[in-house]
Amino acid sequence: MTQIDERAALKKFLNYLLLIVLAIIILAPFFIGIWTSFLPTMDIAKGNLFSTNISFDNYVAAFTKTPILRYLLNTLVISTITMIAQLIFCSMSAYAFVFLKFKYRKTIFTLFLITMMLPFEAEIIPNFATVKQMGLLDNYAVLIVPFLTSAFGTFMLRQSFMQTPIELKEASDIEGLNHFQFYWNIVLPYNKISMITLGAYSFLGSWNQYLWPMLTTFSNNSRMIQNGLKQLQSEETFNDWGMIQASAAIIVIPTIIVLFIGQHYFKSGMNEGAVK
């Protein structure tokens, strides 16, 4: 009996050891990045990573000497507007596909599915020409307007809306609710989790944009954070690892916090919307 206990204990120990080693490997880039963000660049350049000259100097420098706050503000505004717009327009079109009967419904839905097959990356040439003609270059609008809605979001919400009990529709018909009221007062609250999932998804999607803002913005007034980081990193005066790491840390810490808070929703939502 004790032998079995010992074996079980050893197995448990090895399990934890493996779990910890893997966690260390996965988190190592964070630890290294965040640790060096507290070190003077001189020490980093000398390879003295165990330096004890820890300070917030790099952070102060990043905030005062670079436009990183402006980049963050731009990105926050653009991502928030994109998120709200997608929540509205995707839920509206999803509602139409689930609760409205109209001609060519199937055809239009198929067209939505087809747009999910067309990568935005392959359409940058005409899209660039379009936004240039609309006079949107180097402006918040150019980073928002093409992403006001998404076929994926519509599809995801449609799957979720279809689970709304038919009794709710019948009850609201008896109450005399029109489609706007049913949509706003019943369907949206009922599908809160899917809405939150889509919200997080579209916010992060916008936050992580890279190629499109790189093509369409040229000044700090509208540059988004990902491209801003590249800008800082490639500027000659900014060959300063300590400050680069600090700027990366400034950006990553808020998203990690949001992620921890939203993790529950992410997990259940992604499995529901995508895989179920």
Partner 1 sequence: MLKTSTTDVVPEKNVQAKQRHGFRLTAKDKYFASIFLGPSILILGLFVFYPMFKTLYISMFLTNTLGKTTVYVGFQNYAKLITSPDFISSMWVTFIYVLAVTVLTIALGLLLANLSSQKLPGISIFRTLYSVTMGVSVAVAAIFWLFIFNPSTGFFALLSNWLNLPVVNWLTSPTNAMWAVIITTVWMHLGFTFLILLGAIESVPSTLYEAADVEGASPRYQFFHITIPMISPTLFFVSTITIIDAFKSFGLIDLITKGGPTNATNMLVYRIYKDAFYSGNYAKSSAEAIILTVIIAFFTLLQFKFLEKKVNY
Give the shortest CB-134-to-partner 1 separation in angstroms: 10
Contact 203, 76 (CB under 8 A): no
Residue 57 or 270: the one with the smaller Cβ distance to partner 1 is 270
Residue 55 or 271: the one with the smaller Cβ distance to partner 1 is 271
d(CA 123, CA 110): 20
Residue 15 or 53: the one with the smaller Cβ distance to partner 1 is 15
Quickly list DSSP for 49-114.
TT-----SHHHHHHHHHSTHHHHHHHHHHHHHHHHHHHHHHHHHHHHHHHH---TTHHHHHHHHHH
**Closest Cα partner for 157 from 92, 222, 70?**
92
Residue 60 or 162: the one with the smaller Cβ distance to partner 1 is 162
The residue assigned the tokens 């509205």 is 88
Give the shortest CB-80-to-partner 1 separation in angstroms: 16
The residue assigned the tokens 């747009």 is 115
Residue 57 or 145: the one with the smaller Cβ distance to partner 1 is 145
Give the shortest CB-230-to-partner 1 separation in angstroms: 6
Question: What totals of helices (H) and strands (E) does the chain contain, helices first?
Answer: 15, 0
Give the shortest CB-237-to-partner 1 separation in angstroms: 17
Residue 60 or 179: the one with the smaller Cβ distance to partner 1 is 179
Copy the structure tokens of residue 21: 């080693």
Residue 126 or 219: the one with the smaller Cβ distance to partner 1 is 126
Going from the C-alpha of 261 to that of each of 93, 190, 205, 255, the distances in angstroms are 29, 21, 18, 10
Give the shortest CB-112-to-partner 1 separation in angstroms: 7
d(CA 42, CA 39): 8
**Closest Cα partner for 140 from 202, 199, 224?**
224
Copy the structure tokens of residue 2: 């004790």
Give the shortest CB-25-to-partner 1 separation in angstroms: 9
Give the shortest CB-215-to-partner 1 separation in angstroms: 7
